[in-house]
Structures are given as structure tokens and as C-alpha cells.
Amino acid sequence: MPSRESDIATPRLVIDVAGLQSLIDSLRGDGYRVVGPTVRDGAIVLAEMSDVAELPRGWADDQRPGGYRLTRREDGAFFGHSVSAATWKHHLFPPEVVSWQARVDTEGIHVEAPAAPARYALLGLRACDLAAIAVQDRVLMQTAHPDRDYAARRERALLIAVNCAAPSGSCFCTSMGTGPRATAGHDLALTELVGDGEGPARSAQVPAGAERNDAGAGHRFLVEVGSERGAAAISALRASPPSASDLDAAAAVWSSAAARVDRSLDTAGLPGLLMRNLEHPRWDLVAERCLSCANCTLVCPTCFCVDLREAGGLDPRHAEQHRVWASCFSVDHSQLHGGSMRWSARARYRQWMTHKLATWHEQFGTSGCVGCGRCITWCPAGIDITEEAAAIRATDGLTGPPTRARG
């Protein structure tokens, strides 16, 4: 865990709730569309916002395989929940964008310059979300043919992370080395300190010894600056330097969050483990439960598969291509000459999991998984990628028919 001393080089300050509102106001004044978490339809979703009152104050979440429920907190924390239902991909890598459009005639294909995408300030990213963005940066930008739309959105975006205080039951960032504390990729990183200046109870995340450090302090945020753009964003804010007790309280949040991550994925030799067990009977077992519904891929913050669709409409002079989220769980994802290379649900689940945890390393030099747990939570059948990996590891090399009958 990084020590306080090693963080001394990071510019830090403390703002209160009014300061957070000022930050939002000033970003909007600068032309950013601020997107942050809010409660809607029984979940924490991401939406454009203008007021701290829209944040999920006093809300937490209970996430587990195939289940998500909002719960209440006593301490009025704004960010006392864990990962949002949908990912920030909706803003950086949206479900459907125009990849190019052109006028077509006998003289040629006249490509029209694309409209510049909006400038987003993303408020409330978790460390795993930041790690996922870094993964998507590699896939979509650090290549001979960068995705122009993604690069434009990415370049214009301001990333404000919030350090997790309350990881959920689905989270396993600690196993993936991606959290719960944001250490890279953010312009700003906030750690919420509820203190005892507001409301009847302090944050349940602050362990006993640290209470004394937080005594008498109000609801505030430690802000760590991660970039020049971040520094510029807060330069005009009224803020104070962090006190020793602020730093202690923040450190307590970070360490207790890490301790609370319950789920784990053993990543030792994982790519080799999966690729030498391609005929393991576990794939047959999971295929019995898998709905091939594609939910896991569509809530995954690193999945990048897309369809490129012709969408020119009825005007014969207009050509347009759309980039649309696709999934390896679709049968036609691997369709060739009228037949699919991966017809069975078994093959498609295996493709997803081995790509995410194994072949991604070969392709991009990192794991494809950041341990956010969304695929576990939002799978209607409650299939858990960490459980599947553990089952294969426990019976490495097993062949033959599945031993457990469907009950």
C-alpha cells in the first residue's frame, strides 16, 4: 500500500461539499458536460448532472451473482456505493456512433468531416473503471489504426475518480491489481471523508482508531491531482491543504476498502491454465446455465467488439457507416459463408472467458479483466467468472464428460 510519505509529491487539497458543487459549476462553465452517478430505476446509473443533490447521497449497493439491490447508508456519503450499473463506455465508446459519412456520386466518395464529440467530465470513476479505460486506450488508440471517435472523446474528457470506500460483493479489483485506490490515469481523484460535522453517524468505513483523527471535521473530500488538466480544473476553487488527520482518514478509507474486497481471482499462470484446458468439462457445465444473452459483454468496461453497419437510409446519394456494440455471444459474430465458427453456447462462453483472461495478454500485453465484477452482478443466471476459473484450476487437466448432472 502506498505510504503517505510516497504521496507527498502529489498535489493535494481538501474541499467541502460546497466546493464539490463549485467544481461541477466551474466545469460546466468551461463547456464540460458533467456525468456522474445517480439513482434511477433501482440502481446507480450514470447521467448528466449539474447539482450535487443528484448524486446518490446515502445510497449503497449490494451486488452478487445475478443480483443487485440498493441499500441505505446512515452517513450521507455521496459515493458510498460501488461500481455503477452501466459502464463509462456509454460516454467514451458509445453503443452506436457514426464512424463516417459521405456523399456518394459518380465522381467518388466525398467523406464529410465528423462533428466533434461532446466534452465530458466524468465524475465518480472507480479505480477499476480507470484501469478499464487504460485497457481500452491500448486496444483502440495504441494501434496502427486508432479509433478516431474514441480518441477524440478521450482527448476531450476529464477523468475525476472517486476512491472506493465500499466495494461490493462482486468486486475483485485487488486480485487484478486495479484498485480499490486510483493510482494512475485520473486527472483528479477524490476520497470522500464524511467526518462527524454533518449528520448523526460517521462513515462506517473508518476503523476505530482513526475516528479520533476525523473528529470535529465536516463532510469533505481529499482531492489528489493527477495531471495538469486536473490541476487547472481546481485552480480557482476555494480549498485548504490537507491536515494530518485528513490524510490519516483517507488512508484508513483506502486500506479498509481493500480489506473489504472479499472475492478473488487467482491470476497466477491463468492464461496458460485456461488455454491448456480448452476441452475441460467445466465448459459444458457453464454452457447449461449460460443464456448467451450477451449481458456480460455489454456491461464489461473493456469489451470492444463492434459491428460496422451500413446505415445510409433511403437517400441514394448518402452513405453512412455506424459502429455498434456487438458481442461474441451472437452466433453471427463468427459467421463465415453462411455458417458460424462458434455455433454452440459452450464455444461462445469459452471464447469470451479465454479472450478476457488469457488471449488478451497475447494481444495487448495485459489482462482484459479489471475485476469490476459487473459481469457477475448483471448475469441473469448468476454465472461468476471467478468461480469458473477456480473450478478449472482445481481440476486442471480434467477431460471427459461433466460429472455433475443438471439439477
Partner 1 sequence: MQSTRRPKLAVWKFGSCDGCQLSLLNCEDELLTLAGAVEIAYFLEASTAVTEGPYDLSLVEGSVTTPHDAERIQEVRATSRHLVAIGACATAGGIQALRNLADVGEMTRTVYAHPDYISTLESSTPIAAHVPVDFELRGCPVSRHQLLEVVSAFLAGRKPLVPAYSVCQECKRRGNVCVTVAHGTPCLGPVTQAGCGAICPSFHRGCYGCFGPTETPNTAALSDVLRSCGMSGPELVRIFRTYNTGAPAFAAASAAAEKRGGPR
Partner 2 sequence: MAPVAYRVTSRTRETEDTVTIGIVPVTESIPTPAAGQFCMLYAPRVGEVPISVSGVEASQSRLLHTIRAVGAVTKALCALDVGDVVGVRGPYGTAWGVEAAAGGDLLLVAGGIGLAPLRPVVHEVLRRRRRFRRVTLLVGARSPDEMVFRGEIASWQASARMEVRTTVDYATAAWKGDVGVVTTLIERLTIDPEVTVAMVCGPEVMMRFAAAGVMAQGVAPQRVLASLERTMQCGIRRCGHCQLGGLFICSEGPVLPWSRVAPLLARREL
Residue with cell 487467482: 266
**Beta carbon of residue 243, minimum distance to partner 2 (angstroms, whole number):** 48
Taking CB under 8 A as the rule, does residue 97 contact partner 1?
Answer: no
104 binds, among partner 1, partner 2, none (CB under 5 to 8 A by kind): partner 2
Q: What is the dihedral of CA 222, 223, 225, 231, to 10 degrees?
A: -140
Residue with cell 482484459: 368
324 binds, among partner 2, partner 1, none (CB under 5 to 8 A by kind): partner 1
**Beta carbon of residue 341, minimum distance to partner 2 (angstroms, whole number):** 7
Cβ-based nearer residue to partner 2, 226 or 368: 368
d(CA 20, CA 188): 12
334 binds, among partner 2, partner 1, none (CB under 5 to 8 A by kind): partner 2
Cβ-based nearer residue to partner 2, 51 or 96: 96
Taking CB under 8 A as the rule, does residue 89 contact partner 2?
Answer: no
**Beta carbon of residue 328, minimum distance to partner 1 (angstroms, whole number):** 11
Site string for partner 2, 324-363 (x = CB under 8 A): --x-x----xxxxxx--xxxx-xx---x---x--xx--xx
**Beta carbon of residue 107, minimum distance to partner 1 (angstroms, whole number):** 20
**Beta carbon of residue 307, minimum distance to partner 2 (angstroms, whole number):** 7
In one letter, which amino acid is 274? L
Taking CB under 8 A as the rule, does residue 298 contact partner 1?
Answer: yes
**Where along the sequence are the contacts to partner 2 (CB under 8 A)?**
99-100, 102, 104-109, 111, 139-140, 143-145, 147-148, 275, 278, 304-310, 312, 316, 318-319, 321, 326, 328, 333-338, 341-344, 346-347, 351, 355, 358-359, 362-363
**Where along the sequence are the contacts to partner 1 (CB under 8 A)?**
40-43, 45, 66-69, 85-86, 90, 95-96, 288-295, 298-299, 309, 314, 324-325, 327, 329-332, 343-345, 377-381, 406
